[in-house]
Amino acid sequence: MKSPKPYAQRTDLERIESQWRKLTGLHSREEWSAAVVPAATAAEIAANLVIRREFATRSRFDTKFVDGLLTWANGLSGKMDHLLLPLYEGHSRHGTLKRLKAASAKVNSLRNDIVHRGIFCNEGEARAAIGHARTFVETLVGFYEPSFKLKEAKD
Protein backbone atom coordinates (compact mmCIF):
# COMPACT_ATOMS: atom_id res chain seq x y z
CA MET A 1 0.00 0.00 0.00
CA LYS A 2 1.35 3.39 -1.00
CA SER A 3 1.74 5.80 1.91
CA PRO A 4 0.14 9.21 1.49
CA LYS A 5 2.23 12.21 0.52
CA PRO A 6 3.34 14.11 3.64
CA TYR A 7 0.99 17.03 4.27
CA ALA A 8 3.81 19.59 4.07
CA GLN A 9 4.59 18.42 0.52
CA ARG A 10 1.01 18.69 -0.77
CA THR A 11 -0.20 21.46 -3.02
CA ASP A 12 -2.89 23.85 -1.80
CA LEU A 13 -5.44 21.93 -3.89
CA GLU A 14 -4.38 18.62 -2.31
CA ARG A 15 -4.57 20.21 1.14
CA ILE A 16 -8.10 21.46 0.48
CA GLU A 17 -9.15 17.96 -0.57
CA SER A 18 -7.44 16.45 2.49
CA GLN A 19 -9.25 18.84 4.84
CA TRP A 20 -12.56 18.03 3.15
CA ARG A 21 -11.95 14.27 3.54
CA LYS A 22 -11.28 14.87 7.24
CA LEU A 23 -14.49 16.88 7.47
CA THR A 24 -16.56 14.09 5.89
CA GLY A 25 -15.30 11.57 8.46
CA LEU A 26 -16.10 13.87 11.37
CA HIS A 27 -19.46 14.70 9.83
CA SER A 28 -20.36 11.02 9.41
CA ARG A 29 -19.59 10.47 13.12
CA GLU A 30 -21.84 13.42 14.01
CA GLU A 31 -18.94 15.38 15.49
CA TRP A 32 -20.54 18.64 14.38
CA SER A 33 -18.22 21.14 16.04
CA ALA A 34 -15.10 19.25 15.02
CA ALA A 35 -16.30 19.09 11.39
CA VAL A 36 -16.49 22.89 11.17
CA VAL A 37 -12.75 23.31 11.77
CA PRO A 38 -11.50 21.52 8.63
CA ALA A 39 -14.26 23.26 6.63
CA ALA A 40 -12.87 26.63 7.75
CA THR A 41 -9.32 25.43 7.13
CA ALA A 42 -10.24 24.38 3.58
CA ALA A 43 -11.72 27.85 3.02
CA GLU A 44 -8.53 29.54 4.21
CA ILE A 45 -6.37 27.29 2.04
CA ALA A 46 -8.60 28.15 -0.95
CA ALA A 47 -7.90 31.83 -0.24
CA ASN A 48 -4.18 31.03 -0.09
CA LEU A 49 -4.35 29.25 -3.44
CA VAL A 50 -6.01 32.18 -5.20
CA ILE A 51 -3.74 34.76 -3.58
CA ARG A 52 -0.64 32.78 -4.58
CA ARG A 53 -1.87 32.37 -8.13
CA GLU A 54 -2.80 36.05 -8.45
CA PHE A 55 0.62 37.14 -7.24
CA ALA A 56 2.30 34.63 -9.57
CA THR A 57 0.28 35.98 -12.51
CA ARG A 58 0.62 39.68 -11.73
CA SER A 59 4.04 40.04 -10.13
CA ARG A 60 7.55 38.74 -9.79
CA PHE A 61 7.38 38.48 -6.01
CA ASP A 62 8.98 35.30 -4.78
CA THR A 63 7.15 32.60 -2.85
CA LYS A 64 8.74 33.58 0.46
CA PHE A 65 7.43 37.14 0.16
CA VAL A 66 3.90 36.00 -0.75
CA ASP A 67 3.92 33.46 2.10
CA GLY A 68 4.91 36.33 4.40
CA LEU A 69 1.87 38.30 3.23
CA LEU A 70 -0.35 35.29 3.93
CA THR A 71 1.04 35.09 7.47
CA TRP A 72 0.70 38.85 7.95
CA ALA A 73 -2.96 38.78 6.83
CA ASN A 74 -3.61 36.43 9.78
CA GLY A 75 -6.62 34.25 9.06
CA LEU A 76 -9.46 34.08 6.60
CA SER A 77 -10.94 37.49 7.37
CA GLY A 78 -7.53 39.17 7.08
CA LYS A 79 -6.86 37.46 3.77
CA MET A 80 -10.24 38.59 2.47
CA ASP A 81 -9.93 42.19 3.70
CA HIS A 82 -6.23 42.83 3.14
CA LEU A 83 -5.35 40.67 0.14
CA LEU A 84 -8.18 39.18 -1.92
CA LEU A 85 -10.56 42.13 -2.07
CA PRO A 86 -7.78 44.63 -2.82
CA LEU A 87 -6.25 42.30 -5.43
CA TYR A 88 -9.57 42.13 -7.26
CA GLU A 89 -10.57 45.80 -6.91
CA GLY A 90 -11.90 46.92 -10.30
CA HIS A 91 -12.03 43.33 -11.60
CA SER A 92 -15.23 41.61 -12.72
CA ARG A 93 -14.80 39.08 -9.88
CA HIS A 94 -14.76 41.74 -7.15
CA GLY A 95 -18.54 41.51 -6.66
CA THR A 96 -18.30 37.74 -6.31
CA LEU A 97 -15.60 38.15 -3.69
CA LYS A 98 -17.68 40.68 -1.76
CA ARG A 99 -20.52 38.14 -1.65
CA LEU A 100 -18.10 35.39 -0.60
CA LYS A 101 -16.85 37.60 2.23
CA ALA A 102 -20.21 37.18 3.96
CA ALA A 103 -20.03 33.39 3.63
CA SER A 104 -16.44 33.33 4.87
CA ALA A 105 -17.35 35.51 7.86
CA LYS A 106 -20.03 33.03 8.96
CA VAL A 107 -17.65 30.09 8.71
CA ASN A 108 -14.80 31.94 10.38
CA SER A 109 -16.95 33.22 13.24
CA LEU A 110 -18.23 29.75 14.13
CA ARG A 111 -14.74 28.27 13.78
CA ASN A 112 -13.34 30.91 16.13
CA ASP A 113 -16.11 30.27 18.66
CA ILE A 114 -15.29 26.56 18.58
CA VAL A 115 -11.49 26.76 18.82
CA HIS A 116 -11.07 29.88 20.96
CA ARG A 117 -14.12 29.83 23.22
CA GLY A 118 -14.85 26.09 23.45
CA ILE A 119 -18.35 26.53 22.04
CA PHE A 120 -20.15 23.48 20.64
CA CYS A 121 -22.47 23.75 17.67
CA ASN A 122 -25.43 21.62 16.70
CA GLU A 123 -26.01 19.76 13.45
CA GLY A 124 -27.87 22.61 11.77
CA GLU A 125 -25.17 25.16 12.59
CA ALA A 126 -22.45 22.79 11.36
CA ARG A 127 -24.30 22.00 8.14
CA ALA A 128 -24.84 25.70 7.46
CA ALA A 129 -21.15 26.53 8.07
CA ILE A 130 -20.01 23.61 5.93
CA GLY A 131 -22.36 24.75 3.16
CA HIS A 132 -20.92 28.27 3.32
CA ALA A 133 -17.39 26.83 3.27
CA ARG A 134 -18.25 24.66 0.24
CA THR A 135 -19.60 27.67 -1.66
CA PHE A 136 -16.54 29.72 -0.73
CA VAL A 137 -14.02 27.01 -1.68
CA GLU A 138 -15.65 25.90 -4.91
CA THR A 139 -16.18 29.45 -6.11
CA LEU A 140 -12.67 30.65 -5.30
CA VAL A 141 -10.88 27.56 -6.56
CA GLY A 142 -13.15 27.68 -9.61
CA PHE A 143 -11.43 30.93 -10.64
CA TYR A 144 -8.42 28.77 -11.58
CA GLU A 145 -9.82 25.23 -11.67
CA PRO A 146 -13.29 25.56 -13.28
CA SER A 147 -14.23 21.89 -12.86
CA PHE A 148 -13.21 21.67 -9.19
CA LYS A 149 -15.88 20.23 -6.88
CA LEU A 150 -15.63 19.03 -3.30
CA LYS A 151 -16.94 15.61 -2.38
CA GLU A 152 -20.24 15.45 -0.51
CA ALA A 153 -20.13 14.91 3.23
CA LYS A 154 -21.24 11.41 4.16
CA ASP A 155 -24.47 11.06 6.10
pLDDT digits (tens, 9 = 90+) for 4-54: 889 989 999 999 999 999 999 998 999 999 999 999 999 999 999 999 999
Residue 151: which pLDDT band, with cuts at 50, 70 and 90? confident
pTM over the 0.85 mark:
yes
136 close to 142: Cβ distance less than 8 angstroms: no
Q: Is the pLDDT of residue 154 over 60?
A: no
> Does residue 155 carry a pLDDT above 90?
no
pLDDT average, residue stretch 81-95: 95
Closest CA to 52 of 44, 39, 90: 44
Task: Report residue 18 CA to chain centroid gap.
Answer: 12
Q: How confident is the model at residue 133 (pLDDT cuts 50, 70, 90)?
A: very high
pLDDT of residue 152: 78
Domain 12-142, CATH number (from 2.40.50, 1.10.3470, 1.10.10, 1.20.120): 1.20.120
With pLDDT > 90 as the criterion, what percentage of the chain qualifies? 90
Residues 6+ apart with CB under 8 A from 39: 19, 20, 23, 107, 111, 129, 130, 133, 134
